[in-house]
Amino acid sequence: MALFHVARYAGPEAAEAAGAEAGAEADGRARALLERLHAGPESGSDSSSRGSRSPRRPRRPRARRGSGGGGGRGGARAAGRPGARRPRAASGGKRTARRPAQVGPAGRGGDGVRAGDLGLLEADAPPLPGFCPAENGEEAPRESSVDAEAAGPPETPGEQPPDEAGGPPAHALLLGGFGRSRAPKVQPFLPTWLAEPSCVGKNVTEDLVPIEDIPEVHPDLQRKLRAHGISSYFPVQAAVIPALLESAAQGFLVGRGGYRPRDLCVSAPTGSGKTLAFVIPVVQALLQRAVCQVRALVVLPTKELAQQVSKVFNVYTDATPLRVVLVTGQKSLAKEQESLVQESRVDGFRCLADIVVATPGRLVDHIDQTPGFSLQHLRFLVIDEADRMIDSMHQSWLPRVVAAAFPGEGAKDPFALLQRRQPQVVTAASTCRPQMPLQKLLFSATLTQNPEKLQQLGLHQPWLFSTRPARGGPGGTDVDTDSGGKYAFPAGLSVSWVHGSGGWLPGARGRANPTLSPQHHYVPCRLRSKPLVVLHLILHLGFSRILCFTNSRENSHRLFLLVQAFGGVTVAEFSSRYGPGQRKGILKQFEQGKIQLLISTDATARGIDVQGVQLVVNYDAPQYLRTYVHRVGRTARAGKTGQAFTLLLRVQERRFLRMLTEAGVPELERQTPLASCCSRWSRGTRKALSQLERAVKVRPRRFWEHSRLLAAGLGRRGGRMEAEGGLGRALRTMGPSLGGQAPGEVPARCLLSPRPARPSVTAPWPETAKHAVSL
Ligand SMILES: Nc1ncnc2c1ncn2[C@@H]1O[C@H](COP(=O)(O)OP(=O)(O)OP(=O)(O)O)[C@@H](O)[C@H]1O
């Protein structure tokens, strides 16, 4: 029987004893309450009221809110009444002052009770959402302390009871027990693989691993690396290459026992060599292949990036039987089809590509429309700039790729034995059939940590390599004692600047000029002085290769026109306004140093690797942190140094800096160019603007065509870029015979479109001129 006895009750004796104790306690409480009621309201504000009121207080959230944000005004009102002075000195709110009279029970509505209520509400109010904790660790929002100061000291300090003069009142804890404790920080609940990544060093100048130290890499590839000036692996390469080679060491097929390699995610700073981290192992793994099939597919967001990666593959597949094909839409579909498959009378279609580098749109086109294009032998799916690619998942390119890689059950194929089926439950039957695994490899400098987003990729036992130390584990424990922020920046973006001198007011930390400034910079400026700051950076500080980002192609174009008209700077523009061929040419010229200033949209913000960019200017502040990380990552690549300047309007300053601070970005150094320096360029700028104005007014059509040619370096002068007074001379060379719009009327879209606007959309010139000028 004892086995089934549940001791819910302690027994009759214990129950009696407990009952007697409870009864005595209840009697005591009732007596205390009666005494307090008899004593009258004067005693209501002290600690004797504790027991009876505390449970009611939490039902008044509005009063608490009011106390945080109401500031001193409410306190000042409360001070008008007797007994309400103490709270007024701390802070208070209008609602707070009124509330006790409304809510308090009859018999407790005296002044003393109200004063107690107010004291609690004000002293213990938590910070409002969105306010940062004060520096001394207290959570009181700055605004409320300012308001409290504004409220000033009590009008008649002498009337304040001595026990209420300093610190929060003792009875503050009575009403609901909301102490001054800091609200616990919510930790993201991450799966183990995200919370505990394999750590990778982020300093590409210090944590180098000599090539000989990774003997798994094929000797031919080692030779090629050396031939291209690479004698050591960067940290991310030293970590990822052996891991990938190990997973590919067992050949293409899943062996008996269900071997299937883990998918890899790599998060490392910009310019840390992620491309080679996948190129080397993929090439080495495919060297063993016997039949040409698409075995590696690399998907990237832009054509330029795809081109860049295919170039790297070409270098390392040179003198091997492997073939790399680029499908981005730069050529016609038919041409690309010819390079992917060849029709054969004997066996239908013959594959011509081992490695396909593609943009998602064109890849789906080939899956749909290219006969014989098969992904059934795909071994590696590399997703570069993975966070961006996840964002473009609405195009459903990934499900299409996966569907093409795993044939349906009904597919009839003579080689079906060697093909894979959709991953399923591991059984003896499923593992006895040899299969080819599909391994996904994700790379980005800003890889998302959002498990929901990553889940869309259907990763298999993912393994994360990251430059950031482990953070919140599945249990919510924070093991990150030195979190370097949300994303890591290249080390070269935080070393001293050695170019230029003077022309700047002391920075926020009293530095005289940016030569001493170690980190990212921002320049507070007005809209119309932005071009002057850019010119100042170019002309005064002597940078020779500058990448300047705007938020739209219209802004890029306007700035380009102005700098071009100003003269003295070789400038070009990069945006979707130009065709792929022109864009390629522009990037090439920029890399060769023929263009000093490249004004670009975010088309070049990700992945583009141009050697020797010394300075990145955010002419328009980026809206998102990720955009900032990628833009500034165009400089300080591969261990080099670089600088980043962000031009901020007054209205943008607070939000932008807060966004960066919250993400743990190194503090931005404030730089203010001296007015005298900027004014030096303002005369030239005004002249350029009036020149621009005349040009647009007189010859809008030809003006446009010519400016486009100049930008692409394909002008009539044999591709030479216009420099000194470029626009003026360019306009003079156009000749008087060229037609144009009637003076006084200029298309409104003239400055915003690559082609002359239709005559129907017109606006009077002065308006358009203003538009052009408001850079
Ligand atoms: N081990 C190495 N030694 C020297 N240079 C290297 C090494 N690995 C890569 N590089 C060079 O570093 C530069 C940046 O490499 P890569 O473009 O792969 O960076 P990334 O990490 O992909 O950057 P992003 O995140 O901006 O795309 C390239 O010019 C590349 O040639």
User: In this predicted structure, which of 20-34, 304-318, 551-565 has the lowest mean pLDDT?
Assistant: 20-34
What CA–CA distance (Å, rounded) separates 111 from 84?
Answer: 7
pLDDT digits (tens, 9 = 90+) for 450-494: 888 898 898 988 999 998 765 544 433 333 333 456 788 887 775
Mapped onto helix, strand or coil, the DSSP state of residue 228 is: coil
| Mutation probe of ligand 1 site: the residue of 225, 234, 275 with most atoms within 8 A of C-beta | 275
The stretches of 198-293 forming alpha helices (DSSP H) are: 219-227, 235-248, 274-286
Share of the chain above pLDDT 70, in %: 56
What's residue 346's pLDDT?
Answer: 72
**Residue 637 beta carbon below 6 angstroms from any ligand 1 atom:** yes
Residues 287, 221: contact at Cβ < 8 Å?
Answer: no
DSSP 409: T
Cβ atoms 370, 297 nearer than 8 A: no
Is residue 234 in contact with ligand 1, taking CB distance under 6 Å? yes
Q: Ligand 1: does its nearest atom lie under 6 Å from the Cβ of 275?
A: yes
Q: 270 CB under 6 A from ligand 1?
A: yes
Quick: pLDDT tens for 308-352: 999 999 999 999 999 999 999 989 999 999 999 998 777 688 899
Rounded Cα distance between 686 and 775, Å, is 12
> At 418, is the pLDDT very low, low, confident or very high (cuts 50, 70, 90)?
low
Does the complex come out with an ipTM higher than 0.95? yes
Q: Report the C-alpha gap between 28 and 80 in whole angstroms.
A: 38
Q: Beta strands 546-549 and 521-524: pairing type?
A: unpaired
The answer to whether the CB of 273 is under 6 A from ligand 1 is yes
Residue that is written with structure tokens 């900032």 in the block? 628
Ligand 1: residue whose CA is nearest its atom 9: 273
d(CA 511, CA 504): 9
Residue 172 confidence class, pLDDT cut points 50, 70, 90:
low
Find out whether 675 and 526 touch, Cβ atoms under 8 Å. no
From residue 520, alpha-carbon distances to 8, 450, 567, 601, 770 in Å are 67, 27, 28, 20, 33
Pairing assessment for the beta strands 348-351 and 341-344 based on DSSP bridges: antiparallel
Alpha carbons 116 and 1: distance in angstroms, whole number = 58
Lowest mean pLDDT among 124-138, 240-254, 412-426: 124-138
Q: Which residue has the higher pLDDT, 744 or 447?
A: 447
Q: What is the Rg, in whole angstroms, of the alpha carbon atoms belonging to the chain?
A: 35
Q: Which pLDDT score, from 0 to 100, does residue 84 have?
A: 38
407 pLDDT exceeds 60? yes
d(CA 55, CA 59): 8
Other CB atoms within 10 Å distance of the CB of residue 97: 30
Report whether 198 contacts 464 (CB < 8 A).
yes
d(CA 319, CA 314): 10
∠ Cα 79 81 86 (to 5°): 45
pLDDT(600) > 90? yes
* Strand partners of residue 505: 672
In this prediction, residues 149-176 reach a mean pLDDT of 44
Q: In the structure encoding, which two tokens stand for residue 491, read together? A: 């080390």
Q: Please choose from 233, 307, 609 the residue to mutate so as to test ligand 1's pocket, defined by most ligand atoms within 8 A of CB.
A: 609
- What is the rounded average pLDDT for all residues in the chain? 69
Q: What is the DSSP letter of 747?
A: E
Residue where the block lists tokens 């795809």: 306
For residues 244-264, give the mean pLDDT: 74
User: How many CB atoms within 10 Å of residue 734?
Assistant: 17
Q: Is 297:375 a contact under the CB 8 Å cutoff?
A: yes
The pLDDT of residue 671: 83
The residue whose CA has the least distance to atom 22 of ligand 1 is 274
Per-residue confidence band for 718, with pLDDT thresholds at 50, 70 and 90:
very low
Buried b (16+ CB within 10 A) or exposed e, 682-708: eebbeebbebbbebbbbbbbbbbbbbb
Per-residue pLDDT of 62-104, as tens digits, reads 434 434 333 333 333 433 343 334 434 333 333 333 343 333 3
pLDDT surpassing 80 at residue 567? yes
Please tell me the distance from the alpha carbon of residue 383 to that of residue 387, in angstroms, as a whole number.
9
**Whether pLDDT at 358 is above 50:** yes
Residues in contact with 111: Cβ distance below 8 Å, sequence separation at least 6, in sequence order: 41, 81, 82, 83, 84
Which residue is closest in CA terms to ligand 1's atom 16?
273
pTM greater than 0.90: no
- Looking at residue 621, the DSSP 8-state letter turns out to be -
pLDDT of residue 155: 36
Q: Is pLDDT at 616 greater than 90 in this prediction?
A: yes
Q: Is 490 in the pocket of ligand 1 (CB under 6 A)?
A: no
| Terminal-to-terminal C-alpha distance of the chain | 90
In contact, 111 and 41? CB cutoff 8 Å: yes
Task: Give the pair of three-digit tokens for residue 58.
Answer: 């939490």
Task: Give every CB contact of residue 347 below 8 A, 6+ residues apart in sequence.
Answer: none
Q: Rounded to the nearest whole angstrom, what is the distance from the C-alpha of residue 443 to the centroid of ligand 1? A: 13
Could you report the per-residue pLDDT of 660-716, keeping only the tens digit for each?
A: 887 777 778 888 766 666 666 677 777 777 777 776 665 555 555 555 544 444 333
pLDDT digits (tens, 9 = 90+) for 749-771: 333 333 333 333 333 333 333 34
3-state SS assignment for residue 257? coil
Q: Which amino acid belongs to residue 24?
A: A
Which pLDDT score is estimated for 469? 61
Q: 528 falls in which pLDDT band (50, 70, 90)?
A: confident
The whole-angstrom separation of Cα 261 and Cα 253 is 11
- Evaluate whether 286 touches 436 at the Cβ level (below 8 Å): no
Predicted pLDDT at 177: 59
Residue 199 alpha carbon to ligand 1 centre in Å: 19
Specify the pLDDT at position 300: 96
Phi, psi of 560 (to 5 degrees): -60, -45
pLDDT at residue 240, rounded to an integer: 96
What is d(CA 368, CA 447) in angstroms, rounded to the nearest whole number?
30
Q: Is 671 in the pocket of ligand 1 (CB under 6 A)?
A: no
User: Do residues 313 and 612 touch, judged by C-beta distance below 8 A?
Assistant: no
In ligand 1, which atom is closest to the CA atom of 445? 25
In total, the chain counts a number of residues equal to 775
Confidence check: pLDDT of 445 > 90: yes
Q: What is the whole-number distance in angstroms between the Cα of residue 613 and the centre of ligand 1?
A: 14
Quick one: pLDDT at residue 53? 43
Residue with tokens 């603007």: 689
Query: How many percent of the chain have pLDDT more than 90?
Result: 32
Q: Is residue 312 in contact with ligand 1, taking CB distance under 6 Å? A: no
Q: Among the ranges 193-202, 401-410, 532-541, 643-652, which has the highest mean pLDDT value?
A: 643-652
